[in-house]
């Protein structure tokens, strides 16, 4: 089988086996197990060093480049995080456009192309990941690359009229013409992107390939994690109360303020639940160098303090809040112990936490998933209790329904979602994308 070349902004550490952290890596793990692979991307470090660091474990090679601090500021903090991320999540009001950042972003994409090119073999299949690298394929083609190139967008794509707010949006869309197949999470994203491309006369095929997880492996790992000492200690600390659980990168797309306000509304409107539930929200700090993220952290610290101040008893803290990451081996255990998962992003490409919660639950006594209509996962998870994440009252009502839901209904809803997750198979997502890419016409290279 031809070698697979994966290109993404960040590359996770090389390991021959064992679980890897992070949605993209977890999702790709199965795809690359039996296949020779080169993974190219940013090391996560800044330095003046130009040459990639190349290392190999088994049949996997990774090539990592450092960014200069100026490249990092313009490309990553600036154009990717301050502009593209909010724009693609329908939040143009939060976006800040600077011409210099757009140029810096293009320069880094050109550099990726230049440094990847000498590492390529003629029969490689190239798979580029996410919005950071929108123009990479176009630069590779400019340099003469004739390999098959696929691109996967992990985040939403907004309606063309929203995307058009981006200066030089047309040039960006035309760059996507260098790609042989684009994958998106949902049919809406595919439709928006196809419409935008069509308006620019670009004919790149766009297909829907929802990211999945290895449900059976996750279920096994969660069952093991639940027996670990730290999970047991945590479960005991709940004192028999129901656990509501949320875990998200601290990001304004995840709807965290509305979520904790929804919980506060539950305690206010349904006082019978006071002292009977505990809500643990973990929100590991993400993109801490970006102003909007710092503001969100301050807002959350204040909100959590206020809600606890208002409802706490001397022997009950209603809302447990941590901004530290939970170790991967423990997280599955917490997801299994949880009675309710609160997954309420304002907008999310897919949201893997929703799927991980369902996979982690014990089949004999499963918990309830409360899920935003605006997560890509909402298209698949028919058993979830769906909410509009903008409305704290609706979140409170969903929590009350979930707390009171009878076992038979919980089982029925969970079964629906678990079976669907498991049916996709351990590597359904990457396998179906790569199979389709393999079938795709070489539209760009003839
Ligand atoms: C992007 C898109 C799309 C979270 N906190 C901790 C932790 N996590 C893990 C989760 C999950 C992953 O990180 C997060 O994935 P999500 O899908 O929920 O969200 P994004 O990071 O925004 O991912 C998203 C995804 O790409 C894949 O295509 O679904 O829409 O935005 O695996 O469990 N893991 C550990 N500790 C934490 O505190 N160990």
The pLDDT of residue 329 is 87
Q: Residue for token digits 């996410």?
A: 130
Q: What is the rounded CA–CA span in Å between residue 424 and residue 421?
A: 6
**How many whole angstroms from 352 Cα to the centroid of ligand 1?**
6
* Span 188-229, pLDDT tens digits: 999 999 999 999 999 999 999 999 999 999 999 999 999 999
* Distances from the Cα of 382 to the Cα of 175, 279, 307, 358, angstroms: 36, 24, 32, 12
All structural domains of the chain: 4-212+427-439 (3.40.50.2000), 215-424 (3.40.50.2000)
Sign of CA dihedral 112, 117, 120, 124: positive
Q: What is the rounded CA–CA span in Å between residue 154 and residue 151?
A: 10
348 labelled catalytic: yes
Give ipTM to 2 decimals. 0.98
**Residue-by-residue pLDDT tens, the chain, 446 positions:** 789 999 999 987 666 444 444 566 666 766 667 789 999 999 999 999 999 999 998 888 999 999 999 999 999 999 999 999 999 999 999 999 999 999 999 999 999 999 999 999 999 999 999 999 999 999 999 999 999 999 999 999 999 999 999 999 999 999 999 999 999 999 999 999 999 999 999 999 999 999 999 999 999 999 999 999 999 999 999 999 999 999 999 999 999 999 999 999 999 999 999 999 999 999 999 988 899 999 999 999 999 999 999 999 999 999 999 999 999 889 999 999 999 999 999 999 999 999 999 999 999 999 999 999 999 999 999 999 999 999 999 999 999 999 999 999 999 999 999 999 999 887 889 999 999 999 986 544 43
Atom of ligand 1 nearest to the CA of 282: 38
Collapsing DSSP states into helix, strand and coil, what is residue 342?
strand
| Inter-axis angle of helices 215-226 and 407-423, nearest 10 | 130
* Closest Cα to atom 36 of ligand 1: 326
* Span 157-190, pLDDT tens digits: 999 999 999 999 999 999 999 999 999 999 999 9
Note the Cα 65 to chain centre separation in Å: 23
Atom of ligand 1 nearest to the CA of 154: 28
**How many whole angstroms from 353 Cα to the centroid of ligand 1?**
6
How open is the CA angle 392-396-401, to the nearest 5 degrees?
145
352 ligand 1 Cβ < 6 A? yes
356 ligand 1 Cβ < 6 A? yes
Q: What is the rounded CA–CA span in Å between residue 444 and residue 446?
A: 6
Q: Which of 19, 23, 249, 255 maximizes ligand 1 atoms within 8 Å of its Cβ, making it the mutation to test the pocket?
A: 23
DSSP state of 72: I
For residues 245, 335, 256, 294, the Cα torsion angle rounded to the nearest 10 degrees is 120
Give the strands of the sheet with 385-387, arranged side by side: 319-322, 277-282, 242-247, 340-343, 368-372, 385-387
230 labelled catalytic: no
* Closest Cα to atom 30 of ligand 1: 349
The pLDDT of residue 444 is 47
271 ligand 1 Cβ < 6 A? no
* Distances from the Cα of 422 to the Cα of 86, 201, 363, angstroms: 32, 39, 13
23 ligand 1 Cβ < 6 A? yes
211 ligand 1 Cβ < 6 A? yes
Which one of the listed residues 89, 132, 154, 192 is annotated catalytic?
A: 154
For residues 78, 82, 83, 89, the Cα torsion angle rounded to the nearest 10 degrees is 150
Q: What is the rounded CA–CA span in Å between residue 183 and residue 320?
A: 38
The pLDDT of residue 16 is 47
Which one of the listed residues 124, 130, 348, 417 is annotated catalytic?
A: 348
284 ligand 1 Cβ < 6 A? yes
154 ligand 1 Cβ < 6 A? yes
């Amino acid at each position: 089988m031809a070698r697979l070349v994966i290109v993404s902004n960040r590359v996770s550490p090389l390991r021959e086996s064992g679980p890897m952290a992070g949605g993209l890596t977890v999702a790709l793990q199965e795809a690359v197990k039996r296949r020779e692979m080169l993974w190219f991307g940013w090391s996560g470090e800044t330095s003046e060093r130009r040459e990639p660091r190349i290392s190999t474990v088994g049949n996997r090679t990774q090539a990592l480049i450092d960014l200069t601090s100026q490249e990092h500021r313009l490309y990553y903090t600036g154009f990717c995080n301050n502009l593209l991320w909010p724009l693609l999540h329908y939040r143009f009001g939060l976006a800040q456009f600077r011409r210099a950042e757009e140029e810096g972003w293009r320069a880094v994409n050109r550099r990726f192309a230049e440094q990847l090119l000498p590492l390529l073999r003629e029969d490689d299949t190239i798979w580029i990941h996410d919005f950071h690298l929108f123009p990479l394929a176009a630069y590779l083609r400019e340099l003469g690359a004739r390999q098959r190139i696929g691109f996967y967008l992990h985040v939403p794509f907004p309606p063309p009229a929203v995307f058009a707010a981006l200066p030089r949006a047309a040039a960006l869309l035309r760059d996507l013409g260098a790609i042989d197949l684009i994958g998106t999470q949902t049919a809406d994203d595919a439709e928006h992107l196809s419409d935008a491309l069509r308006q620019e006369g670009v004919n790149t095929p766009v297909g829907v390939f929802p990211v999945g997880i290895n449900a059976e492996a996750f279920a096994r790992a969660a069952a093991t994690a639940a027996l670990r000492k730290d999970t047991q200690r945590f479960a005991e600390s709940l004192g028999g109360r129901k656990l509501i659980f949320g875990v998200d990168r601290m990001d304004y797309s995840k709807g965290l303020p509305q979520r904790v306000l929804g919980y506060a509304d539950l305690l206010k409107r349904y006082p019978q639940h006071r002292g009977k539930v505990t809500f643990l929200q973990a929100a590991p700090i993400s993109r801490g160098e970006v102003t909007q993220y710092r503001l969100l952290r301050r807002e959350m610290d204040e909100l959590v303090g206020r809600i606890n101040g208002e409802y706490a008893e001397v022997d009950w803290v209603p809302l447990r809040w941590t901004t530290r990451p939970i170790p991967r081996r423990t997280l599955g255990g917490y997801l299994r112990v949880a009675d309710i998962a609160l997954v309420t992003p304002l907008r999310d490409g897919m949201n893997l936490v929703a799927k991980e919660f369902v996979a982690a639950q014990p089949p004999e006594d499963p918990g309830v998933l409360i899920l935003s209509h605006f997560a890509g996962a909402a298209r698949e998870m028919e058993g979830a209790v769906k909410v509009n994440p903008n409305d704290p009252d609706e979140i409170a009502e969903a929590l009350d329904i979930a707390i009171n839901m009878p076992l038979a209904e919980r089982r029925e809803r969970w079964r629906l979602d678990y079976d669907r997750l498991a049916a996709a198979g351990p590597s359904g997502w990457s396998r179906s994308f790569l199979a389709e890419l393999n079938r795709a016409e070489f539209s760009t290279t003839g």
